Amino acid sequence: MSAWVLPDHIADVLPSEARHIEELRRGLLDTARSYGYELVMPPLLEHLESLLTGTGEALDLQTFKLVDQLSGRSLGLRADTTQQVARIDAHLLNRQGVTRLCYCGPVLHTRPDRPHATREPLQFGAEIYGHAGLEADLEALLLAQDCLRVAQVRDFSVDLADVRIVRSLLAGVPVEAQVLRAVHAALATKDASELASLTRDFPEASREGLLALLSLYGDAKVLDEAERALQRTPGVRDLLANLRWMASRLGETPVTFDLADLRGYAYYSGTRFGIYARGASDALVRGGRYDEVGAVFGRNRPAAGFSLDIKQLVSVVPPRPLKAAIRAPWGEAQDVNAAIAALRSRGETVVCVLPGHESEVDEFHCDRELVNIAGQWAVQAI
């Protein structure tokens, strides 16, 4: 094998894409800051028990593990940043009121989480801690939408659900963990025959309610259908009302509902959302409420937020135009170097042509040139 061949689903990012990713990163962080979110930078590497405690089996399987040569303890390369931000909120900041935090950095997965995905996403996310009301859920969703608008994503739609609906249907039903996982899988794949087999011994209300969920997806009419189908399940009416409230505050954004969508079931504790856009094979953004995320750190307080992969995002948004630049001769004379320095100080990109070579660049459009006219250096159009 050649030394320069990279592992599967790991790739170098070349100039054009790298510039686009960096511009998106800056735009997303600026958007989060405009909402009052403070930037944190957790480490890429942590003790395994801190990184994985309370996260469920799925994240464990996605995490690369290694041994610390200094301490002999097991370490993990983060596969998700949310748990780390919860640790920061719980132990390092330990504030009493609302805390808004955002982050952006690489994560590493043992396997791609969707077809053709990278195993090294650049994860951006925002989290709001300390408020249990729907206002925090809505703020996270509105910020996520604004981030996509800043990235120039067009024609996106929001899908809403609430994991507490399934939990209400299973309340009081003695179910082994293995069967419970199979029920979740059948709901996710909308496998009616498998779900009917798994729930054959469940109480009638639970069984019929779970089977009804398989067809409860679509526009706002779904919530009316769910209210009729699940009327025997305590608390569901309030949960459906919450979803109506969220949807009514999203303006012109198309909204759908999938009440059987259980992605992240072990992680979310309430409303959850996905944002989809034309050209993307999967959701660009996933988020919702996860009040239990800080419990393992001894501080179980309300939390809501979202995350996205900037590398995925850049693949579905329009390419950015090349940055205009000025071509200049290379020289040692003080006057030409002073002219170049003055242009750069004003924010211009100046590409010097080295002796005997034209510069080969992919990212700059040299539409002007620095030339000497009657002993004075001036910029003129090419």
Tell whether residue 358 is among the known ligand binding residues.
no
Looking at residue 112, its amino acid is: P
Tell whether residue 123 is among the known ligand binding residues.
yes
Tell whether residue 53 is among the known ligand binding residues.
no
Tell whether residue 35 is among the known ligand binding residues.
no
Tell whether residue 81 is among the known ligand binding residues.
yes
DSSP state letters, 270-312: SEEEEEEETT-SS-SEEEEE-TTTTGGGT----EEEEEEEHHH
Q: Which residues contact 27 (CB under 8 A, 6 or more apart)?
A: 147, 150, 151
Tell whether residue 263 is among the known ligand binding residues.
yes
Helix (H, G, I), strand (E, B) or coil at 104: strand
List C-alpha distances in Å: 154 to 60, 145, 149, 313, 324.
Answer: 34, 11, 7, 12, 26
Tell whether residue 84 is among the known ligand binding residues.
no
DSSP H stretches of helix in 214-250: 221-229, 236-248
Joined tokens for residue 30: 């600026």
- Measure CA 315 to chain center: 14
Q: Which residues contact 343 (CB under 8 A, 6 or more apart)?
A: 326, 328, 350, 370, 379
Tell whether residue 267 is among the known ligand binding residues.
yes
Write out the binding residues for L-histidine: 80-82, 123, 127, 263, 267-268
Write out the binding residues: 80-82, 123, 127, 263, 267-268
